[in-house]
């Protein structure tokens, strides 16, 4: 088996070509048990996602989890599945098209596409396609505002494995995080304020709950910055909204297994709030820039049931940023900063190059 992937035919005289790749976690191809088994098998086999000795975890994963969880997960996916497919994929594709359009309006001649870390379209296939199309500079944008080894780093891992097999490597850059980015925070603020305009203010017995995806507590102890970056996002958003410490709370959802995870946990927090007399809870998930199973089923559905059953009266889920114009602008600003120095305007605009040449000739003639 060849060590390197085959190279596309070389073409002389082509200008440098730049591409932007939005990368999200991934999704099954269908809301069915077989599709979930394939997806979970890939996702949960990543050693950055589950840090358990490989032989032991292989037995647990293949002997128990992949024989029991796919059917249950498929039913949950079916409850949020869109006519066009998985919500995460649908929103990511829309974000990709909107970003390409906005960057084009700003004069950037770049290819903008998307990939999924697990499932399809796979990172390796997307990168190989870009190289075949002539891309020599590639910016990878993991769509995780807060850095974690089990999310952002897995994107770098997979792209690096592709690079190891690539003979003629392109230049590559990676966005590490954007948890405190002003544009991202402004987009979050806008979604909350728009929700309050439609549904009224929180009131004295209301609370804004910021629910982030959970991680094993061990990750924090080992030096992962995710927990701290989540809290910084929450603190900065609360300041923008003018909330005091009693008007918002940060918690962590999606706990898996028996080990201790980052606390406080979202579900018990909602139950406690309902039992303690909190009449209204508005929940936003700042760690998700596109709605998915974890927001639409776990928070919008299960979270509501937990809160109301415990005695709460009013429950709202505030949708993810999705296709919000403020978010697409923030995403374009983020991409532009990381594209700096790659001269995407001049490199790809033949009319600009021609005009520059004419001006240089006129200047030379005058001197």
pLDDT digits (tens, 9 = 90+) for 212-223: 999 999 999 999
Domain with CATH 3.40.50.1400 in the chain: 18-179+324-350, 182-317
Least confident of 12-16, 258-262, 332-336: 12-16
Which pLDDT score, from 0 to 100, does residue 319 have? 98
Instruction: Using pLDDT thresholds of 50, 70 and 90, give the confidence band for residue 344.
Output: low
Least confident of 138-147, 238-247, 341-350: 341-350
Q: Whole-structure pTM over 0.85, yes or no? A: yes
- Block residue for tokens 């639409």: 296
Residues near 299 by beta carbon (within 8 Å), at least 6 away in sequence: 211, 253, 266, 283, 285, 317
Which pLDDT score, from 0 to 100, does residue 252 have? 98
Instruction: Using pLDDT thresholds of 50, 70 and 90, give the confidence band for residue 140.
Output: very high
Contact 86, 77 (CB under 8 A): yes
Q: Is the pLDDT of residue 350 over 70?
A: no
**Cα 70 to Cα 1: distance, rounded to the nearest angstrom:** 34
Which pLDDT score, from 0 to 100, does residue 10 have? 74
Instruction: Using pLDDT thresholds of 50, 70 and 90, give the confidence band for residue 256.
Output: confident
Helix H or strand E segment including 365:
helix 350-366
Least confident of 41-45, 51-55, 105-109, 361-365: 361-365
Highest mean pLDDT among 131-135, 238-242, 360-364: 238-242
Domain 18-179+324-350: CATH architecture, name and number where available: 3-Layer(aba) Sandwich (3.40)
The mean per-residue pLDDT over the stretch 252-265 comes to 93
Q: Is the pLDDT of residue 347 over 70?
A: no
Helix (H, G, I), strand (E, B) or coil at 115: strand
Which pLDDT score, from 0 to 100, does residue 5 have? 86
**Cα 345 to Cα 356: distance, rounded to the nearest angstrom:** 13
Contact 16, 109 (CB under 8 A): no
Which pLDDT score, from 0 to 100, does residue 66 have? 97
Which pLDDT score, from 0 to 100, does residue 349 have? 45
Domain 182-317: CATH architecture, name and number where available: 3-Layer(aba) Sandwich (3.40)
Instruction: Using pLDDT thresholds of 50, 70 and 90, give the confidence band for residue 343.
Output: low
Instruction: Using pLDDT thresholds of 50, 70 and 90, give the confidence band for residue 270.
Output: very high
**Cα 110 to Cα 104: distance, rounded to the nearest angstrom:** 8
């Amino acid at each position: 088996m060849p060590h390197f992937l085959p190279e596309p035919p070389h073409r002389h005289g082509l200008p440098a070509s730049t591409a932007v790749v939005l990368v999200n976690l991934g999704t099954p191809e269908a809301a069915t048990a077989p599709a979930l088994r394939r997806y979970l098998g890939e996702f949960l086999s990543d050693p950055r996602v589950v840090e358990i000795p490989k032989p032991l975890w292989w037995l647990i994963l293949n002997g128990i989890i992949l024989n029991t969880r796919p059917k249950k997960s498929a039913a949950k996916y079916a409850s949020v599945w869109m006519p066009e497919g998985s919500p995460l994929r649908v929103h990511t594709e829309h974000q990709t098209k909107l970003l390409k359009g906005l960057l084009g309006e700003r004069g950037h001649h770049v290819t903008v596409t998307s990939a999924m870390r697990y499932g399809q379209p796979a990172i390796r296939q997307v990168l190989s396609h870009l190289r075949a199309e002539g891309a020599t500079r590639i910016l990878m944008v993991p769509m995780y505002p807060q850095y974690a080894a089990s999310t952002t780093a897995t994107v770098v891992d997979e792209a690096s494995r592709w690079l190891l097999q690539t003979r003629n490597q392109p230049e590559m850059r990676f966005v590490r995080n954007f948890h405190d980015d002003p544009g991202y925070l402004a987009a979050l603020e806008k979604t909350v304020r728009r929700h309050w305009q439609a549904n009224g203010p929180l009131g004295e017995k209301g609370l804004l709950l910021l629910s982030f995806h959970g991680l094993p507590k061990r990750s924090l102890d080992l030096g992962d910055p995710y927990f701290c970056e989540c809290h910084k996002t929450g603190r900065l958003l609360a300041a923008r909204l003018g909330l005091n410490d009693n008007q918002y709370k940060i918690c962590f959802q999606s706990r898996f297994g028996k080990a201790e995870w980052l606390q406080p946990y979202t579900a018990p927090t909602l139950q406690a709030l309902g039992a303690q007399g909190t009449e209204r809870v508005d929940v936003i998930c700042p760690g998700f820039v596109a709605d998915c199973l974890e927001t639409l089923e776990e928070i919008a559905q299960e979270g509501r049931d937990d809160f109301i059953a415990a005695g709460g009266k009013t429950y709202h889920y505030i949708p993810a940023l999705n296709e919000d114009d403020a978010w697409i602008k923030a995403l374009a600003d983020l991409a532009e900063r990381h594209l700096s120095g790659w001269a995407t305007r001049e490199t790809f605009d033949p009319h600009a190059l021609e005009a520059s040449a004419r001006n240089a000739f006129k200047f030379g003639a005058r001197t």
